[in-house]
Amino acid sequence: MTSLKDELDEPSQQLHQTLRDSITASLSTRRPLLTHLNADTTWLLSLPVPPSHPSKKHRLYFYILIDPWLTGPQSDVAAFFSTQWHAIPSSCQTIKEVEEVIQGIEDVAAGSEKQNGEEGWIDAVVISHEFTDHMHQSTLLSLPPSVPVFATAKAYSIIKSWKHFHTVLPISRFSGDWTKERPGGGILPDWIGVHRVAYAGNDLLYYHSAILISFISGEGKDVEGVIYTPHGISPSDLTPLTTSSPTIKVLALLHGLQDISLQSWLKAAQLNMGAHNGLKVVRMLKVKYWVGTHDEVKKGGGVVGWLLKRIWVSLEEALKMEGVGKGGEEVKFVEVGNGESLVLE
């Protein structure tokens, strides 16, 4: 496998240098590392392994790849209906390059180069939706079959039908206790949970839902969580998190700023809920980091492109509309660029 010392193209050089800087900061505090692998909504979440739960692979981090779409087009329903490409090339063009990034994290963390062996570098993949900008078939099929995939219901059925992965598991709905209904007991280490948070009633589309990744942090028993909701989620649907037992401290919210709707002659359908909704979630859950996601304006064609209405809303505009005296606390919004990473302190 290519070493970080080998010659890299400019985006890769930027990514690896940013990672080195972030890992140095992360190591001093043993904190999670969030890396944006494209300009849209593909993420690598690197969770430090607690000393009380040593890794069977003898690694310092556990690596979760979220909604990987690296190159090529994505199309839903039919090409004439909707086809899109990344407007900005992904910082990682292949799964091999993602694995090189992970090896780089381990190398810097360990202070020496580590060998891959036969287990692979990616520990788990999480898929939030069946739409192909989240469940991108050609990207997923380039992953080793041994990588376990955790997916929401419809995505689970589709990925399972490909018969590529040895382990594909459905993500259970969060019921208030992150230690329960954890998918595939024994597949994930017992200090990590992956759940879906959604409307409590009939949830056929689960378009406005969230993935909750919860984990034990440090040497203690404190539980922290990262909420990933690329289209947004109604604050009321997140109520189970406010009464969870054990308590989960929401470290980061991945939620976009753009308000996107699909116009038609009948009525508009809300797609991405945007900054105003994100701010409500931040206030409700007292989120430490609000990280933008799924805001790339992609190249594309098809009928859908003509019907999309996109409203850019800045954090400042959302705060202004929120009104004086509502909330009042500082909001830490971070735009993690393509190829950049953030230490979640």
Give the mean model confidence (pLDDT) for residues 8-31: 67
d(CA 29, CA 5): 26
CA torsion, points 232, 237, 239, 241, in degrees to nearest 10?
A: -60
pLDDT classification of 112: cutoffs 50, 70, 90: low
pLDDT of residue 330: 81
Mean pLDDT of the chain: 86
Q: What percent of the chain has pLDDT over 70?
A: 81
Tokens found for residue 152: 């929401």
On whether the CB atoms of residues 158 and 169 are closer than 8 A, the answer is no
Structural domain spans, the chain: 10-343
Cα gap 117→137, rounded to integer Å: 26
Question: Does position 287 have pLDDT exceeding 70, yes or no?
Answer: yes
pLDDT in tens, 25-83: 666 667 999 999 999 999 999 999 998 888 888 899 999 999 999 999 877 754 545 67
* pLDDT given for residue 228 in this prediction: 99
Task: Supply the pLDDT for residue 285.
Answer: 97
| pTM for this entry | 0.90
Using the Cα atoms of residue 236, residue 322, residue 340 and residue 139 in order, give the sign of their dihedral.
positive
Q: What does residue 68 show for φ and ψ, rounded to 5 degrees?
A: -75, 120
Instruction: Tell me yes or no: is domain 10-343 CATH 3.60.15.10.
Output: yes
240-263 tens-digit pLDDT: 999 998 999 999 999 999 999 887
- Please state whether the peptide bond connecting residue 148 to the residue before it is cis, i.e. omega within 30 degrees of 0: no
Q: What pLDDT does residue 205 have?
A: 64
Residues 313, 276 contacting (CB under 8 angstroms)? yes
